[in-house]
Amino acid sequence: MQNILQHFQLGELNSGVSTGNSWLHSNGEKIVSSSPVDGKVIGTVQAADRAAYDAAISSAQKAYPIWKAIPAPRRGEIVRQIGEGLRKNKEALGKLVSYEMGKSLQEGYGEVQEMIDICDFAVGLSRQLHGLTMHSERPGHRMYEQYHPLGIVGIISAFNFPVAVWSWNSMLAWVCGDVCVWKPSEKTPLTAIACQRITAEVFAANDVPEGVSCLVIGNRDAGEWMAADERVPLVSATGSTRMGKSVAAVVAGRLGKSLLELGGNNAIIITENADLDMSLIGAVFGAVGTAGQRCTTTRRLIIHESVYDAFKDKLVSAYKQLRIGDPLDQHNHVGPLIDQDAVKAYLASIEAVKAEGGKFVVEGGVLSGAGYESGCYVKPCIAEVENHYKIVQHETFAPILYLIKYSTLDQAIALQNGVPQGLSSAIMTLNLREAEQFLSNAGSDCGIANVNIGTSGAEIGGAFGGEKETGGGRESGSDAWKAYMRRQTNTINYSTKLPLAQGIKFDF
């Protein structure tokens, strides 16, 4: 790991504020990054104070007119080069993600690959920032609409995907002509600094001014500054529903725009017509991948009564085979939770399940002993519950899987939809009618609805996000790029007269 830290120029004390290749002085508090893998301190970051934050925003303001004047395909070419930089650094960055966050090495590599993929998507997008033309009711007139960049895009990202979600936002924002100020999770600051160094090198090689890519590492106050900052027209925030509600209220109070990707409480419906072996793979990976710390983690299995016992037995058998340990060891399936606070939330949730009457069929607990010195390793567990339990309605960022029995598909869909969140959902069935009902407007109310795949592992080509308390935002693919731009309707009169719309007469 020491070689990787040296590779990204990560010393014992690192500046947490950057406008590109420049790293700014700050008197903010020191943030210590400790790995949940072994509990060791990786490095320390000097967080942003208000003066350093304002300096970064000022740099972004100065860079914006220059950046937006560069033709979009040229901006796309620069993003392509960032993708190449990520390809060259995939192994080192993937290992750093795995070590600082605690996800498996394969997932660390996968997260960097996701960044590379969004770069490729953004390159193509840079030549497709299209508008529309429409016919005018007035003779000799032409109407069309086009999109322009917004300005500064503030990005607040979470620890569980410490770099990928930033790239979803920044790569699209950059090809759209925006500049970005990134406030990463204070729990994973070093991966953010590594990404900043990769992008800054590419921007400098292309004579891009400082300020197009800014990094502001800080605690909650840095996010609050950004949310309230009228210089930041769009704030994209990923995290808990509680955090998102706070950001949304502050941004709306100044009539700014917010793009929210918040909590999930995702379910897989397993029907009597499901391929149970295939369903098992989707359910187990969805429930224990990233130690249950994905917003798309499978938290509930809604299982038809006719296959309930058989599938429960398969789950119990599969959980006995899970290997928990160092995520950099690719033989292990499950790594640690992010920190001790997450462990406390996991234990509290287990007690809440028991208090409400839930029955555990696979018991949980904290692991100790050799290899578990950080105290962040926990056992994935399974409980039989009722959907209305208060704890089941809540998103717990931990590997706790809830089993719920159903008898009719209408009932299953109602259970699936019967939570405050609406991010990801899935149905396992070989019956066409069941699949189509699930995808119809009488089916899943989530932003993502899958058939015969699990709830996690979204591809960048589709718009990512959800409804209800998930926030309603969309990131990554499809037409998510429109969130980073302002729409403008244009009417051109090429006639010799000035007729008014709606046939209004105004003669004098």
Active site residues: 261
Q: What angle do CA 133, 134, 135 make, to 5 degrees?
A: 135
Per the DSSP assignment, residues forming a β-bridge with 182 are 155, 215
Length of the chain: 508
CA pair distance 436, 275, nearest whole angstrom? 17
CA pair distance 234, 223, nearest whole angstrom? 13
Burial 3-14 (b: 16+ CB within 10 A, else e): ebbebbebeeeb
Q: What angle do CA 388, 394, 398 make, to 5 degrees?
A: 125
Count of H-run helices and E-run strands, the chain? 15, 23
CA pair distance 237, 157, nearest whole angstrom? 6
* Integer CA distances (angstroms), 370 to 84, 94, 375, in order: 39, 25, 11
Q: What angle do CA 412, 414, 419 make, to 5 degrees?
A: 115
CA pair distance 435, 443, nearest whole angstrom? 9
Task: List, as one string, the DSSP characters of 235-298.
Answer: EEEES-HHHHHHHHHHHHHTT-EEEEE----EEEEE-TTS-HHHHHHHHHHHHHGGGG-STT-E
The residue type of 101 is M
Residues 6+ apart with CB under 8 A from 17: 23, 24, 26, 46, 48, 52, 53, 55, 56, 214, 215, 216, 217
Encoding tokens for residue 334? 């499950």
Per the DSSP assignment, residues forming a β-bridge with 302 are 269, 404
Classify 215 in phi/psi space as left (phi over 0), alpha (psi -120 to 50) or beta: beta
Of the candidates 298, 370, 286, 292, the residue with the CA atom closest to the CA atom of residue 336: 292
CA pair distance 33, 31, nearest whole angstrom? 6
CA pair distance 70, 62, nearest whole angstrom? 14
**Phi and psi at residue 463, in whole multiples of 5°?**
-65, 135
Edge to edge, the sheet with strand 448-451 lists 359-362, 381-384, 400-406, 298-304, 266-270, 424-428, 448-451
- Helix 72-88 × helix 90-101 angle, to 10°: 70
